[in-house]
Chains A and B, each alone.
Chain A
Amino acid sequence: QVQLVESGGGLVKPGGSLRLSCVASGFNFNDYYMSWIRQTPGKGLEWISYITSIGSYPYYADSVKGRFTVSRDNAKKSLYLQVNSLRTEDTAVYYCARYVVEPPAAYFDFWGQGTLVTVSS
């Protein structure tokens, strides 16, 4: 079955950095776009970024553009999110999700359980 397992979260000071990872299993990772989505405390879901199946053309939400970088290693079936210049408002649970694109349909069909990033001094 499809599994996505995130790691790399933790407590970091404002201005700090982290690298989040997501390891996939149960499907051909090479064939799918992947995405990062976060949920801030007490609030809803916010899409952050997606990357194509071959790692080209990453897309970012304006709120993280220039600070976050998405990448993938298909040989390791892994998705990454480098988060820099962290702000208190980046405190959230970060989810990776498999992103299905079959125009006109597009959707996140499987999600991981998330990794918590806390930005605080």
Chain B
Amino acid sequence: QSVLTQPPSASGTPGQRVTISCSGSSSNIGRNPVNWYQHLPGTAPKLLIYSSHQRPSGVTDRFSGSKSGISASLAISGLQSEDEADYYCAAWDDSLKGWVFGGGTKLTVL
């Protein structure tokens, strides 16, 4: 059981906007920024969003992040087939003194 809670799956059709949620607690998301990663099995995970809403250089602005209280979300607009992947949220946990991840959300583009 992961410390951060994500829906196990999400889906959308090309061009749609999809949102993936990440729920935590006061010791992690409530106090610290959230990062989001995209992972295609067999490849290196990729940083999509850091500090809850910042995009690294080279990441398309179709990806956006937000945080409120003990929850965060990743939004993907203009959904494309290449977006089909697993998405993970992560945050530092002050109580556990370590990084915690969500269980991952498998995004399917229908």
Contacts and interface: CB of A to CB of B under 8 A. Distances in A.
A95 B44 contact: yes
Interface residues of B, number: 28
Contacts of B100: 47
B45 A45 contact: yes
A44 B51 contact: no
B88 to A, nearest CB: 6
A44 B1 CA distance: 10
Interface residues of A, number: 26
B56 interface: yes
| Residue among A4, A45, A59, A109 facing the most chain B CB atoms (10 A cut-off) | A45
A105 B50 contact: yes
Contacts of B104: 44-45
B102 A44 contact: yes
A107 B54 CA distance: 11
Interface of A is mostly: strand
Given A47-B90, A112-B44, 13 more contacts: A4-B44, A44-B2, A44-B88, A45-B88, A45-B101, A47-B98, A59-B98, A61-B98, A106-B33, A107-B90, A109-B50, A109-B56, A113-B43
Interface of A: 4, 35, 37, 43-47, 59-62, 95, 97, 100, 104-114
28 contacts: A4-B44, A35-B99, A37-B99, A43-B103, A44-B2, A44-B102, A44-B104, A45-B104, A47-B90, A47-B98, A47-B100, A59-B97, A59-B98, A61-B98, A62-B96, A97-B45, A104-B33, A106-B33, A107-B47, A107-B50, A108-B35, A108-B37, A108-B90, A110-B44, A111-B44, A111-B46, A112-B44, A113-B43
